[in-house]
Amino acid sequence: MGTNDTIKGLSSPAARHGAILRTIWQGVEALVSRVSAIMIKRRSRLHLLDLTEEQLRDIGVNRREARLEGHRPFWD
pLDDT tens sequence across 11-61: 788 888 999 999 999 999 999 999 999 999 999 999 999 999 999 999 999
Q: Is the pLDDT of residue 5 over 80?
A: no
Output the pLDDT for position 67: 97
User: Is the pTM higher than 0.85?
Assistant: no
Other CB atoms closer than 10 Å to residue 66's CB: what's the count?
20
For residue 70, what are the contacts with CB-CB under 8 A and spacing of at least 6?
A: 45, 46, 48, 49
Output the pLDDT for position 76: 85
Q: Is the pLDDT of residue 64 over 70?
A: yes
